[in-house]
Amino acid sequence: MRSVRTISAVDSHTEGMPTRVVTGGVAPVPGDTMAERRRHAMEHLDPLRRFLVDEPRGHPAMSGAILQPPTRPDADWGVLYIEVSGFLPMCGHGTIGVATVLVETGMVTVTEPETLVRLDTPAGLVEARVTVRDGVAEKVTLRNVDAFALELDAKVTVPGLGEVRYDMAYGGNFYAVVDLASLGLPFDRARKDDILAAGLAISGAVDAHNPPVHPADPMIRGCKHVQFLAPGSDARHSRNAMAIQPGWFDRSPCGTGTCARMAQLHARGELALDTEFINESFIGTRFTGRLVGTSEVAGVPAVVPEFSGRAWITGTANYLLDPADPFPNGFVL
């Protein structure tokens, strides 16, 4: 067995969505903040991302997190988030996976019944409260970065769909929130190809005509996610099909998408603070969220979101690169 690269990881899934947590084999990435490290990774480490998430080691809906030393004294670990679309500022389901892995592998000091894990992310500090019993992470509650609605009742002309109305909200990534019924499509997994095609067309049109930009960090920009709402979705219980560039669905309810949805509902006056909100995925798994306060992001009214879910460890592995491998960076079919 030959290898010119060995990367250790603990694989998990959060309510159905995978997170490959890289625990060894990647040196500290240059940068004084995790945002700077993300920028460096985007510019120099994309082959590493592809090696981990693309085929043959990954698949078209793969995502992961690379553990790093923190850049701030109030954090336990730094995290760089990876998926098939690139390096993300933040990933909710991935953070639940990271917190679960850190607790169940003993990479943080564990206390029962609750362990607090502070994570340094490119989007800011994220706190994970892990409910622990007999060494098992039974639930993770994240206090995420501030979320906000950037636009309400925006419109974009989409080839093949005509004029589409959407709200643009941020919860660690940007999300175009669209009522699926307005496109004449049912919330039905049998129509997933049509729903995905609509999502890719909408996100492409938004980025071509009105790309969102974070008011405090211009490196966070663009719309890769379209959150299609099922009929009957409201401020108590929402169901979504999350279509993501370059062409896949989130299997989980989407953590940062849950935060964006709560911010959008709050901006519309539909979701009060300290009110339970259930967000359900396309496969029926759930996150439970609430807004615990208000804030401001570079002059934009914002909210402080929390949400809870669970992850399960699915395996451990060393991912190798044979020097004769014809696909050293993986491939996309």
Q: Which of 91, 123, 230, 297 is catalytic?
A: 91
- Clarify whether 259 is annotated catalytic: no
- Clarify whether 254 is annotated catalytic: yes
Q: Which of 65, 80, 164, 254 is catalytic?
A: 254
Measure the CA–CA gap between 199 and 206, rounded to whole angstroms. 11
Measure the CA–CA gap between 81 and 41, rounded to whole angstroms. 10
- Cβ burial 201-213 (10 Å sphere, 16+ → b, else e): bbbbbbbeebebe
Q: Are 260 and 145 in contact (CB under 8 A)?
A: no
Measure the CA–CA gap between 333 and 237, rounded to whole angstroms. 36
Give the active site residues.
91, 254
